[in-house]
Amino acid sequence: MAFKSKYLEKVMKDVINRNPGETEFHQAVSEVLESLEYVVDRHPEYERAGLIERLVEPERVVSFRVPWVDDNGKVHVNRGFRVQFNSAIGPYKGGLRFHPSVYQGIIKFLGFEQIFKNSLTGLPIGGGKGGSDFDPKGKSDNEVMNFCQSFMTELSRHIGADTDVPAGDIGVGAREIGYLFGQYKRLRNEFSGVLTGKGLAYGGSLTRTEATGYGLCYFTEEMLKASGKSFSGATVVISGSGNVAIYAAEKARQLGAKVVTMSDSNGYVYDPDGIDLPLVKQIKEVERKRISEYVKTHPNAKYHEGCEGIWNTKCDIALPCATQNELDAKAAKTLVENGCIAVAEGANMPSTPEAVEYFLKNGVLFGPAKAANAGGVATSALEMSQNSMRLSWSFDEVDAKLKTIMSGIFKKCESAANEYGVPGNYVIGANIAGFKKVADAMMAQGIV
Ligand code: NDP
């Protein structure tokens, strides 16, 4: 990647040299720095303050051993991480991911993205992320509990309701948050809002489960509306069948669209009649089985082994909601050829840089993750507020706030894109709008 700004060029080079092998982190930094070309020109004071060098270096990285015992008495050792990236505008906030692919580079990419996403919500939350290479798939509840308790035994030293508030991500849902919270409470003898995504019986917020998927659709609806379009009557392709995918599908349907695909890491289903969402919830949320089960009761639907083919499905709107780099340039080209008019990212960094470039060049409305999927963390921040006030808001109250926040995020992206002379480019708009607030706070707080 060549930068016009010598300053950004040097920062990028240093990031690559100082973080060897962390390719996802390089990708995330490069994408943000490209957008900041527009800003550093107007603000030479940032270079004098070493602002970008400080922004790309996490405030703290914790890596730790997580030993646990399986149901057969065998000892396993996983690796745990918490990256506390930036606390300029509030306590670190960001999810925990349990997946075998997790290593420091993935957590740093996610933590870096989180800084700008959290800033875009307008709420006082800094950026952080954590996780482990533990795979909850195929483990018993008891094994998952053993792991979570061991993980929290170390993590508890580094987090707190006013310091760092983790939540869920891939592989960390309501069950895992429950075990993690229980262990934190036991260790600290303290009932606090130290985690979000909690169950409703112990401090969770209504709408949190739905928030990322619903928020994604609220953002997409705003983006479509700005171009005189809407979800109504549209055919939608969604990848993934986890928390984000399921609730994106639910809201897209409520807004009048037909969702025709869902996937997991083994393959995808295509249902021309529209995905039967209660069945997907039963398979994935209750039975924890594979999406291939779907076709057993739906003879019209087809299961395809492997994930890439999902983007060959003809659609008006694509919502990638599984994982990073799941949608490449070839997939982008096929989507455009098949008439796709809008893509919004439910997952973090699901589109490769080449795919994003292709969408933007071909006039596809594109909602980048840090804006489009910010509804989850925004609602987590609303959960923190409710915990602090010892109050619980109704579903409709939280949903209304979420809607207002997502519409506000879209407007920030739109107006930053306009201000910097790239109307309709919500990638640059999101990066600049997210960056500006953090930059102002960092400049005000001195060299720390
Ligand atoms: P879940 O664990 O609930 O679901 C993940 C889904 O993606 C599953 O269907 C999973 O399939 C699939 N998947 C995971 N890894 C891969 C892979 N390597 N290749 C293909 N499919 C894969 O996670 P979430 O729904 O919470 O998260 C999905 C994405 O959304 C992530 O990128 C996450 O960072 C992002 N996100 C999540 C937020 C939240 O609130 N939960 C907030 C903002 C972003 P399988 O079951 O086979 O593993």
Question: Ligand 1 center to residue 9 CA distance, Å?
Answer: 33
**80 CA to centre of ligand 1 in angstroms:** 19
Domain check: are 252 and 355 in the same one?
yes
| C-alpha–C-alpha distance, residues 314 and 60, integer Å | 45
Of 129, 198, 284, 370, which one is the catalytic site residue? 129
Q: Given ligand 1 and candidates 169, 209, 239, 345, which is best to mutate, with the most ligand atoms within 8 Å of its CB?
A: 169
Give the residue, by CA position, lying nearest to ligand 1 atom 3.
242
- Contact between 322 and 310 under an 8 Å Cβ cutoff? The reply is no
Same domain, 42 and 104: no
Please check whether residues 34 and 168 belong to one and the same domain. no
Tokens of 99: 């997946």
- For residues 33 and 163, membership in a common domain is answered with no
Cα distance between residue 303 and residue 292, in whole Å: 6
**238 and 315 inside one domain:** yes
In a domain, 37, yes or no: yes
Which pLDDT belongs to residue 2? 84
pLDDT along the chain (448 residues), means of 10: 93 98 98 96 96 98 98 98 98 98 98 98 98 97 98 98 98 97 98 98 98 98 98 98 98 98 98 98 96 97 97 98 98 98 98 98 98 98 98 98 98 98 98 98 98
Closest Cα partner for 129 from 107, 148, 155, 152?
107
Q: Ligand 1 atom 40: the closest Cα is on which residue?
A: 376
Beta carbon of 114 within 6 Å of any ligand 1 atom: no
DSSP 286: I
Residue 204 sits at φ, ψ, to 5 deg, of -75, 165
Active-site residue flag, 129: yes
Residue of 175, 244, 348 with the most ligand 1 atoms within 8 Å of its CB, for mutation: 244
Please work out whether the CB of residue 96 comes within 6 Å of at least one atom of ligand 1.
no
Q: Are residues 223 and 342 in the same domain?
A: yes
Atom 29, ligand 1: residue with shortest CA distance: 347
β-sheet bridge partners, residue 126: 92
Residues 6+ apart with CB under 8 A from 196: 165, 166, 167, 204, 205, 208, 380, 381, 383, 384
* Domain annotation covers residue 410: no
Query: What angle do the packed helices 329-337 and 353-361 form, to 10 degrees?
Result: 30
Domain with 33, as residue range(s), is 6-55
**Residue of 126, 93, 112, 135 whose CA lies nearest to 19:** 112
Q: Is residue 387 part of a domain?
A: no
Match 């309701």 to its residue by tokens.
161
Task: Give the SS3 label for residue 368.
Answer: coil
| pLDDT 10s digits, 331-341 | 999 999 999 99
- Choose the final residue of a domain: 326, 355, 372: 372
Q: By alpha-carbon position, which residue is closest to atom 32 of ligand 1?
A: 347
The residue whose C-alpha atom lies closest to atom 20 belonging to ligand 1 is 265
Instruction: Return the residue whose CA atom lies nearest to atom 48 of ligand 1.
Output: 265
Same domain for 239 and 91?
no
Strands (E), 327-420: 342-344, 365-367
Question: Quick one: pLDDT at residue 200?
Answer: 97
Single residue among 316, 347, 372 that ends a domain in this structure:
372
My answer on whether 241 and 341 are in the same domain is yes
Q: Do 49 and 78 fall within a single domain?
A: no
For residue 267, the CA-to-ligand 1 centroid distance in Å is 14
Rounded to the nearest angstrom, the distance between the alpha carbon of 320 and the centre of ligand 1 is 10
Atom of ligand 1 nearest to the CA of 101: 18
Neighbours of 420 (CB within 10 A): 18
The residue whose two tokens read 């957590």 is 107
Tell whether 93 is covered by a domain.
Answer: yes
Does the Cβ of 313 fall within 6 Å of ligand 1?
no
348 alpha carbon – ligand 1 mean position (Å): 9
Same-domain pairing of 70 and 185: yes
213 lines ligand 1 (CB under 6 A): no
Strand partners for 267: 305
Same domain? 283 vs 344: yes
Note the pLDDT of residue 77: 98
Q: Residue 403: phi, psi to the nearest 5?
A: -60, -45
- Asked whether residue 283 falls in the same domain as residue 356, the answer is yes
- Name the domain count of the chain: 3
48 C-alpha to center of ligand 1: Å? 40
Domain endpoint, select from 191, 224, 256? 191
Q: Distance (Å, rounded) from C-alpha 116 to C-alpha 399?
A: 22
